[in-house]
Amino acid sequence: MKILSLIPPMTQLNTPYPSTAYLTGFLRSQGFNAVQEDLALALVLGFFTVDGLAEVRDAAIKLPEENRSASVNFFLDYFSDYQSTIALAIAFLQGRDSTLAHRINSRALLPEGPRFVPLDTYGEEEGGDSLAWAFGALGSQDRARHLATLYLNDLSDVLRDAVDARFEFVRYAESLASSQPTFTPLAQALAAPPTLMDRHLQELTKTAVIKHQPSLVLLSVPFPGAMYAALRIAQTIKESYPSIKIGLGGGYVNTELRELTEPRIFDYVDFITLDSGERPLLALIEHQNGKRSQQRLVRTFIRNTDNQVRYINWQEPDVPFEEVGTATWDGLPLDSYLSLLDMLNPMHRLWSDGRWNKLTVAHGCYWKKCSFCDVSLDYISRYETASASLLVDRIEAIVAETGQTGFHFVDEAAPPKILKALAEELIRRKVIISWWGNIRFEKTFTPELSQLLAQSGCIAMSGGLEVASDRLLNLMKKGVSVDQVAQVTKGFSDAGILVHAYLMYGFPTQTVQETVDALEYVRQLFENGCIQSGFFHRFTCTVHSPVGLDPADYGIELVPLPPISFAKNDISFIDPTGVDHDALGVGLKKAIYNFMHGLGFEVKAQDWFEMPNIPKASVPRNKIAKILGYV
């Protein structure tokens, strides 16, 4: 039996989403013939060719002039310039033609559409080169990759406006799947005549099936923005190769489809599994091979002969984390991923810049108390570790296979004890890598440990500061304080490790004053060199989090959900404070964008908000400096 795992559009373009690499590596360790393909990357690259752009032009021309966006009009006006430069730009972003940077930096090679306007506007305001403030003496490569990324972003806008309104680089038709109570929106979209993008995806699907001849196809859906394309892939397989069985799993499924009762989805897939896929997959393969009855499937939804959804969960232990094998990227086109440079901030850019081997240090979260997190679900609640020796064995195997020494540890929160042991093992074995990951900013990360991690190759850390308010951090059960975060992040920064802070606004009972104070804390953390990057996320209440399970404990009332047969995750709530958090979010995001570029530190926190009656920050402007002992 041959098993094909597919990455559906859309996920990252700079590096493969790791789920298929994990599954393929595990299946091969069990002796199965397993292969993988990244259809997300293939779909985008299929349009970014001379012939692909011609198809986009033909679609754009059919639009009535009054319905054409500025991006589409610019594309049509400069179509020949796009056609003559697209192959060059892609080759440059794939790292195959670095000398092209000089031509790109001339600003005379690539057509510059609407995405370039803010760049030039800033340059005019500064009275000089619009990129000099960001790049300085860093050299031509980064500057050129940023310009080439803007060029691709213009083309992405054209794809959205002329080919498929649901398309974005990192998500595709997200609204059709995210917390949708019924399957109807997806069913209607899948029943509609295929768009040009759909037709490209159909052809890519058929090519992959013909190439590999699988008897089982696994579709990994990490986000809502990959669900529509996954089902288009499944639809194509069912119509053209009905004997192939299809399994569906991944982060979106594990989070949002836990209460599935909708039978129509099984017109497209045969099995839907929950949580870690290794044990359900082994049971499913045994079932397909006639060695296990349907009644002994593990964490698997099926549709029975009465057209009803049935959840089967034969109790068997999960495969221990130490026995899941080593991920493999064999079969994925590692030299074809695009190293994009959207954000000029050196820490923030890591998410889209460079080809990172993604690896998990431990399964689950050792803390699993945060009130906004899905702590009741397996990917958080089941905490397992592996020895440092085994982790370094996996690292060495991956480097030998890929030739790449960059690693992104994708844990929910990598435990400090394991990271310390891992660092010591890397140093002892003289394994040279660059790595970054996500942690909790807890006091265990001393300056001495930060230095050790840096010595082992740590280049960056991200972690949750969330609301930057001690009252709300306690309510969140975050287990950290603002003082502690300042000291830990400064220790990382002093060790030469870049720091990104996940920030949150709109948490239950958060007041306007607390939001302004949080921004002032964040300003000071940037100004004092504690953090180099950050992002404000709007708080979302989910049904699997402590807030969603016990809203009264957090002073809110949930809005009743409609009858649900499909996706269930986000849930609205009534906060008695009545604060307009969406309006505040505009100011928060504007402020942090400036802070990440070393700008705006002199601006008072309340002045970032274009709303009346915003209070002044109650936090002294030297509060963080005092915590750090500077004053």
pLDDT digits (tens, 9 = 90+) for 553-603: 999 999 999 999 999 999 999 999 999 999 999 999 999 999 998 899 999
pLDDT value, residue 182: 97
Give the CA distances from residue 412 to residues 163, 362, 364, 440, in Å, rounded to whole numbers and listed in that order: 36, 9, 7, 9
Average of per-residue pLDDT across 178-204: 97
Alpha-carbon span 487 to 627, nearest angstrom = 8
Task: Inform me whether the pLDDT recorded for 618 exceeds 70.
Answer: yes
pLDDT value, residue 293: 97
pLDDT value, residue 50: 98
pLDDT value, residue 128: 43
Average of per-residue pLDDT across 505-522: 97
Give me the percent of the chain exceeding a pLDDT of 70. 97
pLDDT digits (tens, 9 = 90+) for 327-351: 999 999 999 999 999 877 788 889 9
Which residue in the block uniquely carries the two structure tokens 């064995």? Answer: 393
Question: 362 pairs with which residues across the strands?
Answer: 385
* pLDDT band, very low/low/confident/very high, at 220 (cuts 50, 70, 90): very high
Task: Inform me whether the pLDDT recorded for 184 exceeds 90.
Answer: yes
**SS3 of 435, please?**
strand
Alpha-carbon span 377 to 469, nearest angstrom = 27
Alpha-carbon span 220 to 7, nearest angstrom = 6
pLDDT value, residue 303: 98
DSSP code for 356: P
582 Cα distance to chain centroid: 22
Cα dihedral value 162, 166, 172, 178, nearest 10: 180
pLDDT value, residue 126: 42
pLDDT digits (tens, 9 = 90+) for 410-448: 999 999 999 999 999 999 999 999 999 999 999 999 999
pLDDT digits (tens, 9 = 90+) for 13-50: 999 999 999 999 999 999 999 999 999 999 999 999 99
Task: Inform me whether the pLDDT recorded for 472 exceeds 50.
Answer: yes
Contact 15, 333 (CB under 8 A): no
For the chain, domains (ranges, CATH) are 2-40+174-322 (3.40.50.280), 46-163 (no CATH), 343-627 (3.20.20)
Spatial neighbors of 364 by CB under 8 A, at least 6 apart, are 378, 379, 380, 381, 382, 383, 384, 412
Beta strands in 202-263 (DSSP E): 216-220, 245-249
Mean pLDDT of the chain: 95
pLDDT value, residue 346: 81
pLDDT digits (tens, 9 = 90+) for 553-566: 999 999 999 999 99
pLDDT digits (tens, 9 = 90+) for 228-281: 999 999 999 999 999 999 999 999 999 999 999 999 999 999 999 999 999 999
Contact 299, 274 (CB under 8 A): yes
Question: At 33, which helix (H) or strand (E)?
Answer: strand 33-38
Question: 310 pairs with which residues across the strands?
Answer: 302
**SS3 of 598, please?**
coil
Alpha helices in 403-445 (DSSP H): 416-428
Identify which has the larger pLDDT, 170 or 537: 537
Alpha-carbon span 115 to 135, nearest angstrom = 18
Contact 456, 422 (CB under 8 A): yes
pLDDT digits (tens, 9 = 90+) for 115-167: 999 876 654 444 445 555 555 444 688 899 999 999 999 999 999 999 999 99
pLDDT digits (tens, 9 = 90+) for 65-92: 999 999 999 999 999 999 999 999 999 9
Alpha-carbon span 311 to 300, nearest angstrom = 6
